[in-house]
């Protein structure tokens, strides 16, 4: 039996405004914000507003409504961060590397010869994340 959705997870709290984030973009179905422990400068998370634990329990129509936001953010991360490429990562359940149990897509800008930082920290302060968020927001505005 699959595990259920826990409405006390940190991303649910961000969606409800009970926890802060450095917001990049929002639409009817999605929220994009800076990862607090970025594995690259400009590391963004895109989450659905619907309560989904991960890829296994979101409905296909809701997933289909989310993916244009993932594409939009990937394009903006690439151009706003002057990246050469972008990696998407999406983990499912603990054994699959998932730590926060609200579906999310990692959008990671990549440059040749620049390795990803290891997962799990350090935490980057909001003021520093904001510098990158501003560049990505500007790229979104130019799309
Ligand atoms: P995972 O579930 O393995 O995809 O990892 C969860 C991701 O969420 C990690 O990259 C964390 O750095 C990130 N994260 C955890 N808490 C927050 C938060 N409050 N704000 C932004 N990102 C977070």
Q: What pLDDT does residue 89 have?
A: 98
Please give the tally of structural domains in the chain: 1
pLDDT higher than 80, residue 39: yes
Examine residue 3 and state whether it is found in any structural domain, yes or no.
no
Q: How open is the CA angle 98-77-132, to the nearest 5 degrees?
A: 90
Q: What share of the chain has pLDDT > 70, as a percent?
A: 99
Beta strand segments in 6-143, E:
23-26, 30-34, 44-48, 85-89, 105-110
Q: What is the CATH number of the domain that holds 137?
A: 3.30.428.10
> Is 132 labeled as catalytic in the residue annotation?
no
Pocket test for ligand 1, best of 3, 37, 41, 95 (most atoms within 8 A of CB): 37
The answer to whether the CB of 105 falls within 8 A of the CB of 89 is: yes
Examine residue 2 and state whether it is found in any structural domain, yes or no.
no
Domain that holds residue 26: 10-142
Task: Specify the residue with its C-alpha closest to ligand 1, atom 15.
Answer: 36
Q: What pLDDT does residue 3 have?
A: 83
Ligand 1 midpoint to CA 57 (Å):
19
Q: What is the pLDDT of residues 41-82, one digit of tens each?
A: 999 999 999 999 999 999 999 999 999 999 999 999 999 999
Examine residue 1 and state whether it is found in any structural domain, yes or no.
no
Q: How open is the CA angle 64-69-72, to the nearest 5 degrees?
A: 130
The answer to whether the CB of 31 falls within 8 A of the CB of 47 is: yes
Q: What is the pTM of this model?
A: 0.98
């Amino acid at each position: 039996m699959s595990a259920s959705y826990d409405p006390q997870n940190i991303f649910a709290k961000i969606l409800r405004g009970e926890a802060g984030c450095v917001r990049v973009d929002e639409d009817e179905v999605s929220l994009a914000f800076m990862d607090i422990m970025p594995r690259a400068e400009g590391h963004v998370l895109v989450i659905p507003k619907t309560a989904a634990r991960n890829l296994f329990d979101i409905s296909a129509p809701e997933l289909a409504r989310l993916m244009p936001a993932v594409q939009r953010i990937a394009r903006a991360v690439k151009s706003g961060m002057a990246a050469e490429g972008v990696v998407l990562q999406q983990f499912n359940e603990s054994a699959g590397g998932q730590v926060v149990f609200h579906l999310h897509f990692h959008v990671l800008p990549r440059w040749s010869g620049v390795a990803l930082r290891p997962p799990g920290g350090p935490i980057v302060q909001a003021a520093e994340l904001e510098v990158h968020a501003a560049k990505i927001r500007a790229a979104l505005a130019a799309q």
